[in-house]
């Protein structure tokens, strides 16, 4: 199981949990399965989220591998100027 940290206002839609566990081996599976378990997360997922794996931020890469040995954090979708 991968432990996924959620940012504060996202945890409101995961029964208040700041960390959720999910069976997933990549970013796409993580999004799909979290969306199934916590449907309230889906609107934010549709607007866009980024994934930080061991401190490196991935914006869209569905096939980014993750495992229970990684620090996995969901953060809002990154843009810039």
Q: Which is nearer to another protein, 23 or 54 (CB)?
A: 54
Tell the smallest beta-carbon distance from residue 52 to another protein (Å): 4
Residues contributing to the site for another protein (CB under 8 A): 5, 7-9, 12-13, 18, 40, 43-44, 52, 54-61, 64, 71, 73-76, 78-81
Task: Please state the closest distance from residue 81 (CB atom) to another protein, in A.
Answer: 2
DSSP for 26-54, written as a single string: BHHHHHHHHHHH-GGGHHHHHH-EEEEET
Least Cβ distance, residue 77 to another protein (angstroms):
8
């Amino acid at each position: 199981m991968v432990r996924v940290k959620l940012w504060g206002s996202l945890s409101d839609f995961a029964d208040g949990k700041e960390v959720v566990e999910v069976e997933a081996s990549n970013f796409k599976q993580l999004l799909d399965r979290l969306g199934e378990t916590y449907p309230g997360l889906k609107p934010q997922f549709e607007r866009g989220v980024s994934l930080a794996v061991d401190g490196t931020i991935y914006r869209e890469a569905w096939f980014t591998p993750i495992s229970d040995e990684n620090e996995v954090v969901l953060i809002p979708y990154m843009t810039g100027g």
